[in-house]
């Protein structure tokens, strides 16, 4: 959790994976995708792809509002409306 709180999401994901904590592993992985997407965000397809991947992970762990937020950032407004 310390790595996660320090925004070292990739490393946190790996630690959660080794610990067998699938829920937190996915949470850290999607947080890493969102952080990368926000860092690259300039309307390019790569940043949008990070947000789409993060939204899928959020949806899989039941965080539908966060999934919709990521879809909005990816500019897929139609899917965002359906995910809520």
Residue 42: what pLDDT?
A: 58
Per-residue confidence (pLDDT) for residue 30, from 0 to 100: 85
Q: What is residue 18's predicted lDDT score, i.e. its pLDDT?
A: 95
How far is 64 from 17, CA to CA, in rounded Å? 23
Q: Where residue 16 falls among pLDDT bands split at 50, 70, 90?
A: very high
3-state secondary structure the chain: CHHHHCCCHHHHHHHHHHHCCHHHHHHHHHHHHHHHHHHHCCCCHHHHHHHHHHHHHHHHCCCHHHHHHHHHHCCCHHHHHHHC
Handedness of CA 56, 52, 7, 17 (dihedral sign): positive
Per-residue model confidence as pLDDT tens digits over 41-69 = 655 666 788 888 888 888 888 888 888 88
Per the CB < 8 A criterion, the answer to whether 53 and 33 are in contact is yes
The rounded percent of the chain whose pLDDT value lies above 70 is: 90
């Amino acid at each position: 959790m310390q790595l996660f709180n320090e925004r070292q999401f990739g490393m946190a994901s790996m630690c959660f994976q080794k610990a067998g904590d699938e829920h937190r592993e996915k949470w850290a992985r999607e947080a890493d995708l969102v952080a990368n997407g926000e860092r690259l965000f300039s309307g390019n397809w790569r940043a949008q792809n990070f947000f789409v991947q993060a939204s899928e992970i959020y949806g899989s762990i039941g965080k539908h509002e966060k999934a919709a937020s990521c879809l909005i950032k990816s500019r897929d407004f139609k899917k965002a409306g359906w995910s809520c």
